[in-house]
Homo-oligomer: A and B are copies of this chain.
């Protein structure tokens, strides 16, 4: 998961996204204000409003920013062998984020706002659908190639996503840095039980 090294960037939008990320990490969503973002940005609040008309606009853009980074890391998996590919995807979903607790916190905070913020809900739904599709596809390939057992690929994908989401929620809420590793093991057990052929 590409981190935010704060390598000097000239793009104001990028800078504001990073400032928002820092402000959100420090204060939490409920206390996230334009003023705080402006402070992190090192400019006035009006400077923020110059780039984004409203706070809602900024937050929608910020969510796109977060989810884009997130999808990028998934794309790093290029292996095509189903069994190996599924393993690597699960690693990306459950091992990589280990060092980016701040990111997990920020994302969960925005997730919890989805029911009251349609702009958020749309984005999270699209993102979920996309990753679930990748999982379903690799399961389908595995079945077609005869390396996985006949299984309900759609359900397996949903089950794995549930484990991933549960792990992230627990990592954040319980401040448990073993939550992801535990879930990685659980996912492995689930894959073994439902997909792998005994031999």
Q: Which residues of A contact B (CB under 8 A)?
A: 27-31, 105, 108-109, 111-117, 121, 124-125, 128, 155, 158-159, 161-170, 172-175, 179, 182-183, 185-186, 189-190, 192-194
Contacts and interface: CB of A to CB of B under 8 A. Distances in A.
Nearest to A109: B112
A172 B114 contact: yes
Nearest to A128: B174
Majority secondary structure, A binding face: helix
Contacts of A128: 170, 173-174
Contacts of A109: 112-113
Contacts of A166: 161-167, 169
14 contacts: A27-B116, A28-B115, A30-B116, A105-B112, A111-B169, A112-B173, A125-B174, A128-B173, A155-B185, A162-B170, A162-B179, A162-B183, A186-B190, A193-B193
Contacts of A165: 165-166, 169-170, 173
**Total copies of the chain:** 2
A124 to B, nearest CB: 5
Given A108-B169, A189-B194, 17 more contacts: A28-B115, A29-B112, A30-B30, A108-B111, A111-B169, A111-B173, A112-B172, A115-B175, A124-B174, A128-B173, A158-B186, A161-B166, A162-B167, A162-B170, A162-B179, A186-B190, A189-B193
Nearest to A183: B162
A122 to B, nearest CB: 11
A94 B182 CA distance: 20
Contact of A189 (B112, B114, B117, B159): B159
Contacts of A164: 166
Nearest to A192: B193
